Amino acid sequence: MSNEINVQRIFAKLTERFNADNAAGLEAVFQFALEDADSFYLNVRQQQLTADWGEHKDPDITLRLNEETLVKVIMGEQDGMSAYMKGLLRAEGNVMLATRLGKLFKS
C-alpha cells in the first residue's frame, strides 16, 4: 500500500480530524469540485460534520481545484490564499466561508 496522499485518504480522515468547537454557529455546505478526481462535499450543522462523495444540490461555497492543489493545501505546502491568487483555486458562492475552513480541522 502506498503512503501517497490523495483525495481518498484526505476524505477518509475528515470526520476524525473535525474540530466541533470551532464549528460553533456555523451551518454550511462546502463543495469541493475537483477537476481530476472525485468531487465531495462537507456539511457542517450543529457542530457536526457529514462528508459525502458527489455534488451537493445547493452548496454555500464551491471550491474548484485539482487534486494536486488540494493535497498541497491540506499538507501545508501551499496556502489557500496563494492558490487562489495564482488561479489554482476558484471559489464560488459565499467565499468568506473559505476563511473558516482551515479552523474546522485539527492538524
pTM, 2 dp = 0.92
Q: At 62, list the grid cell.
A: 464551491
Q: Are 42 and 51 in contact (CB under 8 A)?
A: yes
* Burial of residue 59, with CB atoms counted within 10 A of its CB: 0-12 exposed, 13-18 middle, 19 or more buried: buried
- Let me know if residue 2 belongs to a domain: no
- All three cell numbers of 67: 487534486
- Number of Cβ within 10 Å of residue 69's Cβ equals 21
Residue range 29-54: mean pLDDT, rounded: 97
Identity of residue 46:
Q
The number of distinct structural domains making up the chain is 1
The CATH number for 78's domain is: 3.30.1050.10
Q: How many CA atoms lie within 13 A of 101 on its CB side?
A: 25
Kindly indicate the confidence band of residue 3, based on its pLDDT and cuts at 50, 70 and 90.
Answer: low
For residue 57, the enclosing domain spans 7-102
Q: Residue 31: inside a domain, yes or no? A: yes
Instruction: Please indicate, yes or no, if residue 107 is contained in any of the structural domains.
Output: no
Domain membership of residue 18 (yes or no) is yes
- In tens, the pLDDT along 49-96 reads 999 999 999 999 999 999 999 999 988 899 999 999 999 999 999 999
